[in-house]
Amino acid sequence: MHQMNDDNNINKAPQNPKESSFWEMVRYLVIASLIVFPFRMFVAQPYIVSGSSMDPTFKNGDYLIVDQLSKRFSEPARESVLIIRYPVDPSKFFIKRLIGFPNETIEIKNGVVTIFNKSHPEGFSLDNSYIEHKKNDNFSIKLGDSEYFVMGDNRANSSDSRVWGPLPSEDIVGKPILRLFPIKKIGILPGEVNNNEGQK
């Protein structure tokens, strides 16, 4: 630890204003970094949509602010939009919609998604009114503990759980809370839909 001498009065006017301004700017940048870095790491972070797998809900180039904190305290709702890590390559990020929860069975027949769980052993179907690009595929999977099923809104052109399987819970990054671009689509909670009655 360096001790300050009496002649180095903290209130003394600087002899070189330019040098003082430089160090003031450095100090403010350090303080700002200490605030912004944890915020971006743990609370919220910007993402830019690349690709058409969520068309028409999200378009290529959409600029989103993603909430990364709330997932630590509550489970996302069914049909909410999520930013996820691609399980095959965690360095890549995807944007998908949450369809199935752990221990549920997901069946797709001619493009219609039906979900079976303890609360609805007879199954229930999702509204999917937001889907414009449909695909009449057939698929079935039983999810395990801590596994989710996600799909893109562009069902005809999306790499999702139908292709690479269930999404591990640890690969959920967060959900968009704000769309900042394009200007005409600025809004909060972009892509949110009203859930059906059989949510859990």
**What residues are labeled active site?**
53, 96
Q: Which residue has the tokens 């095959």?
A: 88
For 59, the enclosing helix (H) or strand (E) is: none
19: left (phi over 0), alpha (psi -120 to 50) or beta: alpha
- Write the single-letter amino acid at 156: A
Exposure of 27 in the CB half-sphere (CA atoms within 13 A): 6
Widest pairwise Cα distance in the chain: 83
